[in-house]
Amino acid sequence: MSTSTKFDHPTNANRFNQDQARTHWHDSALWFIREKRDRMSKSLPEWETLRSCASQIKAHTVSKLADYLEEFEKNARARGAIVHWAKDAEEHNQIVLDILKKHEAERIVKSKSMLTEECHLNPFLEKNGIEVVDTDLGERIVQLRQEGPSHIVMPAIHLKKEDVSETFHQHLNTEAGNNDPCYLTESARQHLRDKFMQADVGITGVNFALADTGGIVVCTNEGNADLGVSLPNVHIACMGIEKLIPSADHLSIFLRLLARSATGQPITTYSSHFHGPREGGELHIILVDNGRSNLMNSDDYRNALKCIRCGACMNTCPVYRRSGGHSYAATVPGPIGSILNPLRDAKHHKSLPFACTLCGSCTDVCPVQINLHEQLLTLRTEVKNQKQLPVSKTMPMRIASWVFQRPKLYAWLGGIGKFFLRNLPRFMIYNGMNPWGKNREMPEAPSESFRQQYAKRAKKNQSK
């Protein structure tokens, strides 16, 4: 597969849609989560107030991010944490490796961390002889399958229980054909417990970092983060610099929004606070930029840094639900990923801003009120200005623009189009020359155009 094809969303989405039954199941599964989110949000009269407060807190933090980062570093060090700074993924990975080498660590357990996925930490460590085990159940499933996560909260949402059963039979020697979720979960628990007991170092992500206390908060539903850092003596916490909030007083706002938006729960099962290392242990916190400063300096895309990685925009997006997370060929898929990835690498991710209907549903459900669909529309112009669009997209738009500037020609072509839609056999309309109609029905041709109806009504009004 060529690089251009690998990163092309329409090509990848078409591959996902080859299995229509799975596509409809994926769509329904995510919409079920969206409906749970709606029920939870409607149960709180103050929901919109919480969203507005969270958005303002994030905007304020981003505007003074340098000051808050220094405050966080100072307070974290005062509590005994060791703070590292990484400008990019390469530097982040090297810092982690240096810590592991210092402690002669060979076995790592890691809870869910989209930052480490973004930095491709796992393959980097594996190349250096380190065993890395993802301990979140969904993450472990896709790791065993040598896949990336397809969703930032539900990494294995694209898989059915039959797929998991087959994977576990192959890698964990479970009973062939046993699809019982309880059996599969218990098998994973026993498998992971051994990994926890043997681990030399535990790695976690960070959901929120508190500038005024120097503490970090990790939210999970499985408790794997707590177990992963309680047994080894070394805890490495990897966080993007945008995860900061000014004060512990603000934390409750985000905790009330996060789980309700992500999975329709009142709160995550575990919200674990870490303020310095445990006695006799070490806590390393790595603050990672990796392009975030560039976003901070952009008036158009600064709001994207408000993201708390809840995945609500993915659960509601009609394009994501019907194309799958892997079609984005990126760590963060969906609407927010369609902004972040092209800004980091426009050449490879140029198709993502167009993987959007501009319906605005993502903006409506975002718990921190990011104007996602507006940013995607703006980003389309940037992709065009960078000459990243193929002729197959630019030429039709030029032709359409030329036609739209000639009303008589537009009206004549409209009449021709109506005639053909009504009279041509179906195979002449729905074929390889019409990719738009591959998974869609063309609209029924009206008997009269708007112009004809308008002229008829105008004539009727004049005769009165």
Q: Where in the chain is the domain with CATH 3.40.50.10420?
A: 1-137+200-389
pLDDT in tens, 398-423: 999 999 999 999 989 988 988 888 88
**Alpha-carbon distance 443 to 46, whole Å?**
42
To the nearest 10 degrees (0 to 180), the angle between helices 391-404 and 407-423 is 120
Query: Quick one: pLDDT at residue 447?
Result: 84
153-162, 166-175, 364-373, 449-458: least confident range: 449-458
Is residue 436 predicted with pLDDT exceeding 90?
Answer: no
One-letter amino acid identity for 427?
F
Residues ≥6 apart with Cβ < 8 Å to 313: 334, 335, 336, 362, 365, 366, 372
Query: Quick one: pLDDT at residue 451?
Result: 85
pLDDT in tens, 160-189: 999 999 999 999 999 999 999 999 999 999
**Alpha-carbon distance 452 to 448, whole Å?**
6
Is residue 3 predicted with pLDDT exceeding 50?
Answer: no
Q: What average pLDDT does range 316-336 have in this prediction?
A: 96
Residues ≥6 apart with Cβ < 8 Å to 160: 22, 25
pLDDT in tens, 257-303: 999 999 999 999 999 999 999 999 999 999 999 999 999 999 999 99
264, 37 Cβ separation under 8 angstroms: yes
Per-residue pLDDT band for 2 (boundaries 50, 70, 90) equals very low
Q: What average pLDDT does range 338-355 have in this prediction?
A: 93
User: Hey, what are 109's tokens?
Assistant: 């357990």
Query: What is the CATH architecture assignment of 1-137+200-389?
Result: 3-Layer(aba) Sandwich (3.40)
**Residue with the larger pLDDT of the pair 389 and 321:** 321
**Alpha-carbon distance 103 to 234, whole Å?**
9
Query: Quick one: pLDDT at residue 264?
Result: 95
pLDDT mean across residues, the chain:
93
Query: Quick one: pLDDT at residue 461?
Result: 87
User: Hey, what are 171's tokens?
Assistant: 């890698």
Per-residue pLDDT band for 52 (boundaries 50, 70, 90) equals very high
